[in-house]
Structure 1
Amino acid sequence: MDIKMMEYVVEIERCGSINKAAKNLYLSQPNLSNALKNLESELGYTLFVRKNSGIQLTNAGRIFLSSAKIIVSEMQKIHQIPRMFTEHKNISLSCTYYSVFMHEFLRFKKEISQEDIEDNFKETGLIQTIQDIIERHYRICLFYCFECNESKYQKIAKKYNLNMQCIASNIPLQVMVPQTHPISRKKSIDIADLPRYNLVNYQNFDFSDWLQILGLENDNRVLYVFDRGGLFDAVRESGYFSVIIKSHPDYSAQNGCVFLPLVGLKEQLKVFLLQENSYQMNDREHRFVQQLIHCMKDISANKSPKT
């Protein structure tokens, strides 16, 4: 059986329509329909039931699809193997939203400039950045989570043959508030007071990974955004608060926001490096990670990061 046919079935199920799937696959609808009929004939059972409203998987089709998705996913990972070669001298990094990750990456690029190397840096949510490593779109991953969730991600790492290494611990949290808000003149904010405020948070983080640990409810007092720009806009222009990992001190002046220490939190925040067990970081990736580790040590010690 051709792997392409499995990809076709996965796409048909995703679209819920042979016609829509054909467009996405750059095939004619009759050709895709014939290919599906030939596959069903080869298998000896029907995968889909055709209805006026679209198509629906049969019981046999559901079992077939569960296996097909695994095979298609593994084939995609196999095709990504060339990205893992250490001969590549560029940095290939996916990370969670955090100004220090970006700041240190740009500082590294400035101090160790190599114009002939094209680095890949992606900033996204926790769920997506781990998926990026699993699917081999990037070679290394940086993310942060509370210590109580560490075992959850260690299980994921073990399942997908990944190495998860803690590179920083006991990282302080801050509450970002607009400079114009009266509370910006306070010295700190207690975690017990957080439910009183409207908060903005990143969409691509599980509620149980972040807001729940902060004692918040998943209700209409929480606004979800997809990037750091949207987060700053919500705070600066709409008066939302946001709980973030400690950032560079110059960010408050640049973004019209004030960072207040969050006190009363019992959970420890850690930063992790994630990569495939078999992958050895190249020289530039290794040097960047070492630079970041030194920076994070200063932050965990409540020192100002190097600028």
Structure 2
Amino acid sequence: MTLQQYRYIVEISKHNSISKAAAALYVTQPTISKAVQEMENELGITILDRTNKGVVFTKQGMELLFYAKMLLEQEESVVYHFNKQKTMNLTKFSISSQHYGFAIEATSNLMNYLDGRKYQLTIREGKATEVISDVCANRSILGVLSLTDLNKDFFEHCFISNSLIFTPLVSLRQHVFLRREHPLAHLKSITLEQLMDYPYLTYQQNDVLLHFAEEAINLDNINKILYLEDRGAMNNILSNTNGYNIGTGCIVKNYMNPNIISIPLEGSNLIQVGFVKRDDIFLSEELLTYIDFLTKSLIESAPKNL
């Protein structure tokens, strides 16, 4: 038996599915199935029972899973011991986030904090579902995202089923982002009805369930919609057209076009901004520092009319 086979067993336990485990490890399903069969033949036991809903570990399979986790932890200890100096000298991790300026500002502050040290950081921006997928697949150690009243139950179920923990940092009311020259910019608050004649700008895509749209708005009632993938494009179009976007209302100086403002949305939903991680992940000093910077940026950029 090999450590790789043990990794397959542990990954299967996270998903209760061989196909999902294969996708998470970027290998084919037959590769994992063959590895499991070889272990069963070598040990003379049945590790998994196949069902219509996935796979279930047998009693002996659970015992093997226990030892597999223990062996992999020992492997990590050995690697850490002999590469301790290298590990201490290099900070390396990935963070995924929805398209938030405060997440990028926190990254900039972390880079300044790490000045003089070696590091390899990766920042990914995407929709909430992509952020969660990155954390589940261990592509990112931390995910920055928000929950609303409309999608909270859906995402909390997703967190539980994938052994994720969501930690809220700040609660905000939804705001409308628009340019200073927008016909509605003089108002103290805006209704959805008042926005009907203007283009709606969103990162939401057709391949995501619209019932769980990040902005918690019914896209079926919108006449003009522009889908974007890039935060820079969003800022540029917002500042040069009468389009609008709905979000946290946070205005991050130096990370957003100064021509963009935010106005409270009447009857809006509560937004909980926070971070999600796997429940088996330990937060390092650098990650805790990033979270401190993130919280500080959130508080400083939050709307003052709350």
TM category, shorter = 0.5 to 0.7
Question: Which residue of the partner structure matches residue 203 of structure 2?
Answer: 202
Identity %: 14
Structure 1 residues 147 and 182: CA distance shift in structure 2, 3 A: closer
Q: 1:104: how far off?
A: 1.9
Residues 149 and 209, structure 1, Cα contact 8 Å, conserved in 2? yes
Counterpart position of 1:239: 242
What amino acid is the match of 2:230?
D
> Is contact 2:179–2:242 with CA below 8 Å preserved after alignment?
yes
TM-score normalised per structure 1:
0.65
Q: Does 1:228 align with 2:231?
A: yes
Name structure 2 gaps, 5 residues minimum. Answer: 1-16, 33-71, 81-86
Question: What is the distance in 1 between the residues matched to 2:119 and 2:305?
Answer: 33
Query: Is residue 178–residue 235 contact of structure 1 (8 Å, CA) maintained in 2?
Result: yes
1:129 partner SS: helix
The question of 1:187 aligning with 2:188 is answered yes
Moved more, 234-243 or 97-106: 234-243
Instruction: Provide the residue aligned with 1:124 in structure 2.
Output: 126
Deviates more, 1:157-166 or 1:185-194: 185-194
SS at match of 1:292: helix
Q: Is the 8 A contact 2:211 2:218 kept in 1?
A: no
The number of residues matched between the two structures is: 234
Equivalent position SS for 1:117: strand
Partners of 1:188 and 1:260 within 8 A in 2: no
Q: Could you tell me how far 1:264 is from its partner in structure 2?
A: 1.4
Name the TM-score, length of structure 2 as normaliser: 0.65
Matched, 1:69 2:19: yes
Rate the CA distance shift 1:125–1:289 in 2: closer, same or farther, 3 A. Answer: same
CA contact (8 A) 1:89 1:283 kept: no
Is structure 2 residue 92 aligned with structure 1 residue 94? no
Deviation at 1:182, TM superposition (A): 3.2
Question: Which residue in 1 is equivalent to 2:40?
Answer: none
1:114–1:146 CA distance, 2 compared to 1 (3 A): farther
Please give the alpha-carbon distance, in whole angstroms, between the structure 2 residues aligned to 1:212 and 1:293. Answer: 21
Q: Please, what is the CA RMSD of the aligned residues?
A: 3.4
Which segment is superposed worse, 205-214 or 180-189? 205-214
Partner of 2:157: 155
2:248 maps to amino acid: I
Per-residue deviation at 1:111?
3.6
SS at match of 2:184: helix
Q: Distance in 2 between matches of 1:104 and 1:294?
A: 8
AA matched with 2:267: L
Say which SS state the counterpart of residue 106 (structure 1) adopts. Answer: helix
Deviation of the 1:114 alpha carbon: 4.0
Consecutive unaligned residues in structure 1, runs of 5 or more: 1-66
Q: What amino acid is aligned across from residue 176 of structure 2 in structure 1?
A: V
Q: 1:187/1:120 Cα in 2 relative to 1: closer, same or farther (>3 Å)? A: same
| 1:11-57 per-position Cα deviation (integer Å, ceiling 9, x unaligned) | xxxxxxxxxxxxxxxxxxxxxxxxxxxxxxxxxxxxxxxxxxxxxxx
Aligned 8 A contact 1:178 1:257 in 2: yes
Deviation of the 1:193 alpha carbon: 2.0
Change (3 A) 1:75 1:119: closer
